[in-house]
Amino acid sequence: MFGFGKKEEVKIASPLDGKIIDITAVNDPVFADKMMGDGFAVVPSDGADTIVAPCDGKIMLVPDTRHAVAIAAGDSGKLELLIHVGLDTATLGGEGFTALVSTGDSVKRGDALIKFDGALLKSKGKDATTMIVITNGDDAVKSMTKNLNEKSSVLTVAVK
């Protein structure tokens, strides 16, 4: 009646087309060793060039380099997600990236967030693998289930 004891569950989808892999398989120790948090990654399919919101939420941050976006996810906004496009792509200073949202924007699952030029990344020797990381897992995650074979619900997170 009052929502006491109501359990929040956030389903996190793949933000782009491609092969879903566990975060531990990413070719970067910062992500693979879960220094930023747990999650998953997507090796983009050829031609995939748009990152979409993996769940409903509010944009917390879009850096000047436009290679990433942070989202306060779910109804409560307690769950913090980072979507990081590519490895070592911050060094490009925004070249090849177009932000389609701004800090403070509310987004719905499937809304376009970032467009990127995969051919440019490749020509610059950058891996376009995209990481989706829960950055505040210790504080916000009660439990998490990974389903790396299901693009529409890769992570199911029970929020504390």
Sheet holding 112-116, edge to edge: 50-52, 112-116, 97-99
pLDDT at site 1: 45
In the structure encoding, which two tokens stand for residue 46, read together?
């050829």
pLDDT at site 4: 59
Considering the entire predicted model, what is its pTM? Answer: 0.95
pLDDT at site 2: 53
* Given the residues 11, 66, 84, 126, the one annotated as active site: 84
**Is 67 one of the annotated active-site residues of the chain?**
no
CB of 55 closer than 8 Å to CB of 109: yes
Output phi, psi for 143, to 5 deg: -155, 160
Please say whether the dihedral angle defined by the alpha carbons of residues 56, 119, 36 and 154, taken in this order, is positive or negative.
Answer: positive
In the structure encoding, which two tokens stand for residue 59, read together?
């944009």
pLDDT at site 34: 98
Flag residues of the chain having pLDDT under 70. Answer: 1-5
